[in-house]
Structure 1
Amino acid sequence: MSATSGNVLSGRTALVTGASSGIGWETARLLAGLGATVLVHARTTAEAGSAVARLVEAGARRDRLVELAADFTHLAEVAVLAGAVVEHYPALDLLVNNAAAMAPERCTLTDDGNEVSLQVNFLAAHLLAKLLHAPLSAAGDARILNVSSALHRTASMNWSDPQRVKRYSRVAAYAQSQLALTMATADMAPAGSGVTAVSLNPGQCDTALLPLYGRTGAPAAEGAEAVVRLCLPSVELANGAYYEGGSVAPTAAAAQEERSLKRLAKLADQLVGRAA
């Protein structure tokens, strides 16, 4: 991509979650090509190793890639991952919360008691932002990018039953997870932290999540380009904003309601519980 050529991210460190395939893998490839050291997260050690091997085959430098594994259906593993990053990387310049799971046909709860897509798509990102606060702040001008979806505009938070056990729809559950991620973005970059957080819609791409959107999608690389464009130091970002096509776009009304934002922050802290 011409907009992201050269080593403009040389000396910077980026953590990309869900980087074993799709937009996450392509994002890792582009970031490494721009000179960043990329922490390549996957669900398992084998998947992380495979992702890194394919990145090297695609031209990425091996010394710019680090394998990390954590199953986000277990919040304890998210915490261990964060601990490893804090231990080895005192400054973290980019956190790309890309990991996402399609909600199953039937309501499925993790061992932590959370609906699986809510946990993987939102609570893991919420927890990472909290546990990685120190290295993100230390970077001076760090960025958090939450890869969300236009479906968040169709969603509503089910405050009385956030796990949607009583009345479940896989589309509604997935959309709620994306709404929560979008709503929580500004809270991930508190005033004075030196961190900027935004959410974005990477577009409808041909990934494992495509069945939720339609039958056709753009190559995952195009979605990754949208993500990486917002990682560039030359691109100014509005903290807490939602981006589509490289520009700030309207978001769901709930994302503008101060009462709802505070309610979500409290709920998220309760749901991650002891892992935080």
Structure 2
Amino acid sequence: MSDQDLSPLHGRTVLVTGAATGIGPETARQLAERGATVLLHGRTAEEARAAADRLIATAGIDAARLHPVAADFTHLDEVKSLANQVVAQHPHLDVLVNNAGTAAPERHTVTTDGNEIAFQVNILAHYLLTCLLEPALTSDPGGRVVNVSSSLHRTANIQWNDPQRARRYSRLAAYAQSQLALTVFAADPRVTAVSVHPGVCDTALMPLYAHDGVTPAEGAAYVIRLCDPAVEIVNGAYYDRAERVAPAPAATEDRTIKRLNKLADLLVSRAA
């Protein structure tokens, strides 16, 4: 690959959440190799630093291109601190990749903020982070948010009267609900955003889908493609790997978008 091929991402600043595990490290690596400055998020400062060190040691990434940042998404106050840090230190952010995710546990689990854990980590934390990063997210052409979603969003419905799944819980339904909500959020008119299902990847989330999958590098490539300013996007578009396809009908309904925003605003403000 020539320097010319790598040029579209050169000089751009990208925050990748969940960059220490799963397809996250590969997403960070491919972005940095293409000349981007990557804010590499981990749950702890030690985890983020270790992930950056691995990329420097094993992939030869220039350390100057990697900036470890940390926040535990099961604590919304840490998400707020992360956003404040990014806005202060990187006031021009070209791309936000909302990639961090967790499989819902077998037993119903609630965070200290009072939210079902998959709903908080997979959607509420990203909703809050995206909203708080608005001062830094560029409005220049090519600026965008990329939500790493899942084809399982098609199996979901949002339990508006019980989003925490306290009355009726199953891990698959809780996970799928969080992915539908993340896909709906991409259609929020306040942001320029898309969602992408990167395929079934060989990561900790794979047991939710199948017994084998593609490599994290292959999955990350579909995310990287949507970070490229040369790839034109339509707000709210959904991609299954490289192909733009229609998401679940609810994902683009104005009523659902407004309803999710109202719910998310309520739940994140409750943790203020």
The reply to whether TM is greater than 0.5 is yes
1:17 corresponds to: 17
Structure 1: which 5+ residue stretches go unaligned? none
Q: Separation in 1 of the partners of 2:108 and 2:167?
A: 9
Q: Separation in 2 of the partners of 1:117 and 1:25?
A: 21
Q: Separation in 1 of the partners of 2:11 and 2:252?
A: 36
Q: Deviations over 1:58-116 (max 9, x none)?
A: 12110000010100000000000000000011110010000001101011000110000
Contact 1:79 1:128 in 2 (8 A): yes
Number of equivalenced pairs: 271
Q: Separation in 2 of the partners of 1:38 and 1:51?
A: 12
Structure 2: which 5+ residue stretches go unaligned? none
Contact 1:91 1:138 in 2 (8 A): no
Contact 1:7 1:33 in 2 (8 A): no
Contact 1:78 1:124 in 2 (8 A): yes
Contact 1:8 1:232 in 2 (8 A): yes
Contact 1:92 1:139 in 2 (8 A): no
Report the alpha carbon displacement of residue 245 of structure 1 after superposing the two structures with TM.
2.8
Opposite residue 213 of structure 2, the aligned amino acid is G
SS of residue in 1 equivalent to 2:212: coil
Residue 137 (str. 1) matches residue 133 (str. 2) = no
Residue 250 (str. 1) matches residue 251 (str. 2) = no
Contact 2:123 2:182 in 1 (8 A): yes
1:202 corresponds to: 198
Residue 45 (str. 1) matches residue 45 (str. 2) = yes
Contact 1:90 1:138 in 2 (8 A): no
Q: 1:221 aligns with which of 217, 221, 241?
A: 217
2:267 corresponds to: 271
Opposite residue 10 of structure 1, the aligned amino acid is H
Q: 1:234 aligns with which of 226, 230, 247?
A: 230
SS of residue in 1 equivalent to 2:7: coil
Report the alpha carbon displacement of residue 5 of structure 1 after superposing the two structures with TM.
3.9
* Regions of 4+ moved over 3 Å: 137-141
Q: Separation in 2 of the partners of 1:66 and 1:257?
A: 37
SS of residue in 2 equivalent to 1:248: strand
2:101 corresponds to: 100
2:113 corresponds to: 112
TM-score, normalised by the number of residues in structure 2: 0.95
Q: Deviations over 1:106-143 (max 9, x none)?
A: 11000110000001000111011100001113555411
Opposite residue 8 of structure 2, the aligned amino acid is V
User: 46-55 vs 173-182, which deviates more?
Assistant: 46-55
Identity of aligned residues (%): 59
Q: Deviations over 1:33-56 (max 9, x none)?
A: 010100000001111111001111
2:123 corresponds to: 122
